[in-house]
A and B are shown apart, each in its own frame.
Chain A
Amino acid sequence: MQFPILSVLIFTPLAAALILLLLPEDKKNWIKGLALAAGIIVLALSIWLYASYDIAAGGYQFQERVDWLPALGISYFVGVDGISLPLVFLSGLVIISGVLVSWHVHDRPREFFSFLMFLGASVVGVFCSLDLFMLFFFFELAVFPKYLMIVTWGSPKTREYGGMKLTLYLFIGSMLALIGALAIYFGSGLHTFDMLALENAGFAVAFQRLWFPFVFLGFAILGGIFPFHSWAPDGHVAAPTAVSMLLAGVEMKVGAFAALRVGIMLLPEGARQWAWLILILATVNVVYGAFIALIQTDFKYVIGFSSVSHMGLVLIGFATLSREGLIGAGMQMFSHGVMTALFFSIVGMVYDRAHTRDIAKLGGLVRKMPWAAIGFIVGGLVSMGMPGFSGFVAEFPVFMGAWRAAPVVAVIAILGILITAGYIFLVIRRVFFSELPDELAGVQDVTVRDKIVIGGLSLVMIGLGVFPSLMVPMIESGVKTILAILGGA
């Protein structure tokens, strides 16, 4: 039997989360050390997986399957393909970055790191699931750490509101998705939650048209689809730094990924019928999200709304149902995840030192924390789709797909790029350049751990921008599977 690498990947953070809760509270170094070790293991395993995936063969690899509740057709069934593997790698990157930037959490660090690991296990679990039930299991596993971390460690003013709003929105989303999933289960008549089997269930067109919106929309709420996006900025802003990074960086991709995997791949004909609506909503996401980001006065809200805008491009890519669009969406999920994790980590570093997120009260920070400034500039260039960075590599095929599906979408959505450039340049100037206010004269530089996070995440984005072939062929192999499903529908 081969080494169960995916199970180790999923259960390392889960085990770390449980062990952390058992550690004595005053052993802070043990706590941090264990969290860091778990983070390193997850990242190392995800890199190893990434490197050893056979792109030429494609399909779902590293599969493991154990019957769990055979009477209901539920099994523990995991495997990764070219779409999910980059997201597993993304999770590894963001989890360890989250641990590193949270090094100085003073308030109940044991629970903080434990919950962070629960969140990590949840996202990796979703990406690896090939069983619909398991997917839901891991999906819902995230709810309690998310909620508790926001209301306990979040920003004091808005944490109850933000945490509650986020949790309720996502509950509604997952209920809708669950209804749809149950319909798929019963409608298939196969008595299995095995998604690979369900893909071939041959649902009737009317059935797909009816249930697709439930599944897709339910999950896409977590992906931030307009008009159900407003939980995202509020939730992200209220959350502590590491949770914002995981929420915007990875959790939004969990939503988009599940919408793709369960919505589009199980109900392809439904996707074709509803693509026009997704295209419209996602285009609104892109342009409206960017406009709202432009007028924010709170540093963190700018980034919160920028996520709404960028996730719109992922959804456009999905809805084009074309090769280029799907490749672009896959790249954009990864690229945006890294970028927004970097953004939120820098916002956190600035807030920790300046004690304000009001852009008007910030300024001149490049002289105090040059690494943060450079990291933010790199993230900003990715964000505006500047060539040479991963954002361009992701957005360009999305637009090509949009041309194939609906040219008007491409023409409108491209405005998002210009608006994004506007708010990014304005924020860079106001926060990092302009005059340093007197109150910020004592601000300290970022720590070595922060620099590792900034440098590492920046390098990933530049590397992909210069050498797209480091990731695109893998995503392309995953897209082939989807296209085969779409073509056969």
Chain B
Amino acid sequence: MEFIENHLLTFILFTPTVAALVLLFIPGKYIKAFRWGALAASLIPFVLTLIAWAQFNPDPNPAAPFQFVEQSAWYAAINASYHLGIDGISLPMVLLTTLLTPLALLASFSIKERIKPYMILFLLLETGMLGVFMALDLILFFVFWEIGLVPMYFLIAQWGGSNRNYAALKFVLYTMGGSLGLLLAIQLMGVSVGSFDLITLTEKWPTLQSLAVPIGIPIETVKNIAFWAFVIAFAIKVPVWPFHTWLPDAHTEAPTAGSMILAGVMLKLGAYGFLRLVLPLFPAEAQRFAWVLAALAVAAIIFGALGALAQNDFKRLVAYSSINHMGFVVLAVAAAAATWNTTAANTLLDKNLALSGAVLQMFNHGLSAAGMFFLVGVIYERSHTRNLNEMGGLYAILPVYGTVLIFTAMASLGLPGLGGFVSEFLVVRGVWPIFTVAAALSMIGLFFTGAYILKALKLVLHGPLNTRWEGHLTDINLRELVVMAPLMVLMLLIGVWPAWLLDMINQAVAFLF
């Protein structure tokens, strides 16, 4: 037991991998073993995360913000180590991941074919995502950042919709292409500083005066380029306009559980990259280019909402809504970047509010996007259509489903009392004094958010009942309700009493950079 407590993060990180390896040796015909085995295995990291949550010191030491730190030699020849640790930003993300994975696996019980590779890939995916949130070494970060693409590629390409091959290849090449610059920048930083350790790099890289490479370009320019290399890699993942075009395809074609994880967790990897790497490693560059980030974020908010409004495919509508919601995270990051080195108490408060709102928005969007994609999947499994115009009036025959959908959609829309409102309010409140115009413009986006959510609800649930569905559709079943219940409880809980989560985040963002 003590061994587990001393290596808690390692156990959270690799339990899914070990479970995947065990499943590898079970013959493929035992479908139940895979379903329940994978689900049970994915609950272990969840329980361990709750233990970590209970032991987490909510008032950490600013000099050593990371807790549960583990470090051991890994790739000593190039000074990369196995260095894990979490703070108040990463712990909510770890919780989100370990919570959504079992729910996604439960949602996958309707998968009929090739259940064995499906479950194995899903468990490997969980390790990949968790690693990003825990890594305190740039190479380790990159390892997990890339490795998660592989299971997701196969999940989309094998179990996805009709256009899955195109979507899967676009997803993987877009993301890998975006990571090339990140890879180069990491190499450059490692060569120049002599270490890939995030804590060492945060100390030395921003103040570095000369590079150890014969590049012939002023170091300021090199840092600017490296900054953009990081930004583009993460902007693709988030995604920030105009790097978003892979998302509607990938999210729409992925199987339901894949979309839940893509929108629920994988987009957060990009946002987390902004918080964990871009701000601390490139504070000066981020400040210089904060207005660009803010402009792109506003574009993502507005165009994402307009894009969603224009869709007639239910799943594509939800996909575009992610661009809209994640734009708020990037807007908050941009505002915080602009206030680097400030000492004015007012501005510090704005910055902390914006950043806390950003992390909370990541968590909230994880809940609501996963819920929305699942609900789209529920209706698609029954009706075999995602076309909004073919639905209509379904509330009459699916009352429970309708209620759940309205609740989740309202959380996504930002209705006061539900999670989304708290985080979007915090972001806008924090950003307003820093980027007033951007905050005001984002309100336009928020208006269209309401419009597309209501459009979806109207076309699915209200209006005259499309008679072809009468007697053909069954209401949401118990298993599906079990998937939705934890999400809905958390949305409500954060909406009415966000302090349990917000305090932890608040402490961490105060000394992020």
Residues of A within 8 A of B (CB): 324, 327, 381, 384, 386-388, 392-393, 396-397, 399-400, 403-407, 410-411, 414-415, 417-418, 421-422, 425-426, 429, 433-434, 468-469, 472-473, 476
In the complex, chain A residues whose CB is within 8 Å of the CB of B172: 421, 425
The reply to whether B180 and A417 contact each other, CB–CB distance below 8 Å, is yes
Indicate which residue in A425, A426, A433, A473 contacts B158 across the interface (CB closer than 8 Å): A433
Pairwise interchain contact B191-A403, C-beta atoms closer than 8 A: yes
Q: How far is A429 from B153 in the complex, measured between Cα atoms in Å?
A: 11
Contacts of B190 in A (CB 8 A): 400
Query: What are the residues of chain B within 8 A of A414 when measuring CB–CB?
Result: 180, 183-184
Chain B's closest residue to A324 (CB) is B78
Choose one: A399, A421, A422; the contact of B184 (CB below 8 Å).
A399
**Chain A residues with Cβ under 8 A from B76's Cβ?**
469, 472-473
Q: Give the residues from 351 to 382 in chain B that come closer than 8 angstroms, CB to CB, to chain A.
A: none
- Of B75, B145, B187, B214, which contacts A399 at CB under 8 A? B187
Is B173 a contact partner of A407 (Cβ separation < 8 A)?
Answer: no
Q: Is the CB of A393 within 8 A of B147?
A: no
User: Which A residues are in CB contact (< 8 Å) with B147?
Assistant: 386-388
A429 to B173 alpha-carbon distance, docked (Å): 14
Q: Is the CB of A422 within 8 A of B75?
A: no
When distances are taken between beta carbons in the complex, the residues of chain A under 8 Å from B215 are 407
In the complex, which residues of chain A have a beta carbon less than 8 angstroms from the beta carbon of B165? Answer: 429, 434
Contacts of A386 in B (CB 8 A): 146-147, 150
Q: List 8 A-B contacts (CB under 8 A).
A: A386-B150, A387-B145, A387-B146, A392-B143, A397-B77, A410-B184, A414-B184, A425-B169
| Residue positions of B touching A, CB distance < 8 A | 73-78, 139, 142-147, 150, 153, 157-158, 165, 169, 172-173, 176-177, 180, 183-184, 187-188, 190-191, 212-215
| CB–CB B78/A404 < 8 A | no
Closest to B169 in A: A425
Q: How far is B247's CA from A109's CA once the two chains are assembled, in angstroms?
A: 55
Are B176's CB and A421's CB within 8 A?
yes
Contacts of A403 in B (CB 8 A): 187-188, 191, 213
Q: Which residues on A sit within 8 Å (CB–CB) of B74? A: 468-469
How far is it, in angstroms, between the C-alpha of A417 and the C-alpha of B178 when the chains are bound? Answer: 12
Is A472 a contact of B75 with CB atoms below 8 Å?
Answer: yes
**A421 CA to B191 CA in the complex, in Å?**
25
How far, in angstroms, from A386 to B150 measured CA to CA in the complex?
A: 9
Looking across the interface, which residue of chain B has its beta carbon closest to that of A392? B143
Return B482 CB to nearest CB of chain A, in Å. Answer: 33
Residues of A within 8 A of B143 (CB): 387-388, 392
Q: Shortest CB–CB separation between residue B121 and chain A, in angstroms? A: 11
Q: Are B187 and A396 in contact (CB under 8 A)?
A: yes
Beta-carbon contact of B75 and A425 below 8 Å: no
Contact of B214 among A327, A406, A476 (CB under 8 A): A406
| B213 with A404: CB separation less than 8 A | yes
Residues in A whose Cβ lies below 8 Å from that of B75:
393, 468-469, 472
Checking A407, A418, A469 against B213 with a beta-carbon cut-off of 8 angstroms, the contacting residue is A407
Taking A400-B78, A476-B77 as contacts, is the C-beta distance between A433 and B157 under 8 angstroms?
yes
Given contacts A387-B142, A396-B139, contact A473 B77 (CB under 8 A): yes
Report if A425-B180 is in contact (Cβ < 8 Å); known contacts: A386-B147, A386-B150, A400-B191: no
A179 to chain B, nearest CB (A): 34
Report which of A396, A405, A425 forms a contact with B173, defined as CB distance below 8 A. Answer: A425
Q: How far is the CA of A369 from the CA of B78 in the complex (A)?
A: 39
In the complex, A433 Cα to B78 Cα: how many Å? Answer: 38
- Across the interface, do B173 and A472 meet the contact criterion of CB distance under 8 Å? no
Residues of B within 8 A of A397 (CB): 77-78
Note all chain B residues with C-beta closer than 8 A to A473: 76-77
A411 and B142 alpha carbons, distance in the complex (Å): 18
Contacts of A406 in B (CB 8 A): 214
**Closest chain A CB from B286 CB (angstroms):** 23
- Rounded to whole angstroms, the CA-CA distance of A429 and B157 in the bound complex is 9
Complex Cα distance A82/B74, Å? 19
| Residues of A contacting B173 in the complex (Cβ-Cβ under 8 angstroms) | 418, 421-422, 425
Whether A418 touches B139, Cβ cut-off 8 Å, given contacts A403-B213, A407-B214, A407-B215, is no
Complex contact A404–B191 (CB within 8 A):
yes
**B153 touching A425 by the CB < 8 A rule?**
yes
Cα distance, A434 to B187, chains bound together (Å): 37
Interface centre among A403, A425, A433 (most CB of B within 10 A): A403
The 7 A-B residue pairs with the shortest CB-CB distance in the complex, in nearest-first order: A387-B143, A407-B215, A468-B75, A403-B191, A472-B77, A388-B147, A387-B146
Specify the chain B residue showing the minimal Cβ separation from A414: B180
Residues of the B chain whose Cβ atoms lie less than 8 Å from the Cβ of A417: 176, 180, 183
CA distance A429 to B172 in the complex (A): 13
- Distance to closest chain A CB from B412 (angstroms): 33
Q: Cβ of B177: which chain A residues have Cβ within 8 Å of it?
A: 418
User: How far in angstroms is the closest Cβ of chain B from A315?
Assistant: 18
Expressed in whole angstroms, the Cα–Cα distance for A399 and B189 within the complex equals: 12
Residues of A near B145 (CB, < 8 A) are 387
B180-A418 in contact (CB<8A):
yes
Contacting pair B73 A469 (CB below 8 A): yes
Query: A411-B184, A425-B153, A429-B157 are contacts. A468–B176 as well, Cβ < 8 Å?
Result: no
Report B271 CB to chain A, min CB distance, Å: 21
| A418:B176 contact, CB within 8 angstroms | yes
Q: Assess whether A381 is in contact with B184, with CB atoms less than 8 Å apart.
A: no
**In this complex, what residue of B is CB-closest to A476?**
B77
> Which chain A residue shows the least CB distance to B222?
A407
Kindly state the separation between the CA atoms of A324 and B190 in the bound complex, as whole angstroms.
11
Tell me the minimal C-beta distance from B208 to chain A in angstroms: 14
A425 to B73, CA, bound (A): 33
Which residue of chain A has its CB nearest to the CB of B189?
A403
Name the distance in Å between B28's Cβ and chain A's nearest Cβ: 9
Per the bound structure, the CA–CA distance linking A379 and B169 in Å amounts to 18
* A392-B143, A421-B176, A469-B74 known; A410 vs B169 contact (CB < 8 Å): no
Q: Write the nearest CB–CB distance from A432 to chain B, whole angstroms.
A: 11
Taking CB atoms, residues of chain B closer than 8 Å to A433 are 157-158
Other than the known A324-B77, A426-B169, what 16 A-B pairs have Cβ atoms closer than 8 Å?
A324-B78, A327-B78, A388-B146, A396-B139, A400-B78, A404-B191, A406-B214, A407-B213, A410-B184, A411-B184, A417-B183, A425-B169, A468-B74, A468-B77, A472-B75, A473-B77
User: In whole angstroms, what is the CA distance A343 to B148 when docked?
Assistant: 23
B153 surroundings in chain A (CB, below 8 A)? 425
Question: Which chain B residue lies CB-closest to A411?
Answer: B184
Determine how close the nearest CB of chain A comes to the CB of B128; give it in whole angstroms: 9
User: How far is the CB of B113 from the nearest CB of chain A, in Å?
Assistant: 11
- Which chain A positions have C-beta within 8 A of B191? 324, 400, 403-404
**In the complex, A181 Cα to B88 Cα: how many Å?**
63
CB distance from B188 to the nearest CB of A (A): 6
Taking a contact as CB atoms under 8 Å apart, the answer to whether B150 and A381 are in contact is: yes
Identify the closest chain B residue to A425 (Cβ).
B169
**Within the complex, what minimum Cβ distance (angstroms) separates B84 from chain A?**
15
- Give min CB distance, A102 to chain B, whole Å: 28
With A and B bound together, what is the CA distance between A425 and B150 in angstroms?
10
A16 CA / B403 CA spacing, docked (Å)? 77
Q: Which of B73, B143, B173 has the largest count of A CB atoms less than 10 A from its CB?
A: B143
Query: With the chains together, A400 CA to B187 CA distance in Å?
Result: 6
In the complex, the answer to whether A410 meets B77 with C-beta atoms within 8 Å is no
Question: What chain B residues lie within 8 Å of A418 (beta carbons)?
Answer: 173, 176-177, 180
B172 to chain A minimum Cβ distance, whole angstroms, is 6
Smallest CB gap from B78: residue in A: A397
A404 to B214, CA, bound (A): 7
Q: A433 to B212: give the CA distance in the assembly, Å.
A: 46
Best-surrounded residue of B78, B142, B172, B213 (most CB of chain A within 10 A): B78
A319 to B139, CA, bound (A): 24
Chain B residues within 8 Å of A405, by CB: 214
Measured in the bound complex, the distance between the Cα atoms of B492 and A422 in whole Å is: 44
Question: For the complex, what is the distance from the CA of A381 to the CA of B150, rounded to whole Å?
Answer: 9
